[in-house]
Amino acid sequence: MLKIHPTAIVDSSAEIEDGVEIGPYTVIGPRVFIGEGTRIGAHVIIEKNTRIGKNNLIHHHAVIGTDPQHLAYRGEESWVEIGDENVIREFVTIHRGTAIDQRLTRIGNRCLLMAYVHVAHDCFLGDEVIMANGATLGGHVRVGDRVVFGGLSAVHQFCRIGSYAFVSAMSGVDKDVPPFVKVFGIPAKIQGVNLVGLRRAGFGKDAIRRISQALGIFLDGPGRISEVIEELRDAFPDDPHVADFIRFIENPSRQGIMRRKPFEGEEAF
């Protein structure tokens, strides 16, 4: 059964599946789809062209599917897609895409977006991403699976964040972050392998050792990325995780790949 509070406003074109709960004073706009078992708190705004999957929990005052904050936006149709079993906490904002990209902002499955997180237009998030309070993504950011962002961290538009990376609190990311690493600072720099994240994800000692060796080659090896890739392929011809690392650094965004690590004794800020 649906549970829609009498003060909620639901557009007639919205599709609401069984088991959905909608709290007081929430507004559901046109062409919105909300999947089975999703619970929505009070004073939530879900605007047009938003598709939300099953068993999500959306807390009070979240705002999803509003116009992108982009000067080139002229009202063209665009969308937000949110997968299943996500937790979206208070005052999170998620904006629709723009015509200069794929007109789509997408959140994967089982993500946790804590209070005041902002996901800008045209961002794509993988599965099981955690964004702590106040973390912010600029437009067109691509985030892999099981990435963790610390509180008040920020990512420059068009950057890519590789799977299993950790972005420390209050960091400013202005280049692509390779998978499996932890970064910190303004601008953020690579601090090493994300050991805690990899262990929690079930990576064994041998896998972590090879990833650490590959990262060492990436940071301290030849100056050209093409030469680094060749060396990594020769050193780890059959390792699937190193293959993922290589695929990531082969395809940098316009921001380029984060590579420099702090000098010994250098402050992160």
Instruction: Please identify every residue annotated as catalytic.
Output: 121-122, 139
Instruction: Centre a 10 Å sphere on the Cβ of residue 158 and count the other Cβ atoms it contains.
Output: 16
φ, ψ (nearest 5 deg) of residue 186: -135, 105
Six-digit token string for 34: 């909300």
The DSSP secondary structure of 185-252, one letter per residue, reads ETTEEEEEE-HHHHHHTT--HHHHHHHHHHHHHHHHS-SSHHHHHHHHHHH-TT-HHHHHHHHHHHS-
Burial 91-114 (b: 16+ CB within 10 A, else e): bbbbbbbbbebebbbbbbbbbbbb
Report residue 129 as tokens. 């991403």
- Locate 146 and state its tokens: 């099981």
Which tokens is 8 given? 């909620």
Phi first, then psi: give them for residue 12, nearest 5 degrees: -65, -20
Residues 6+ apart with CB under 8 A from 251: none
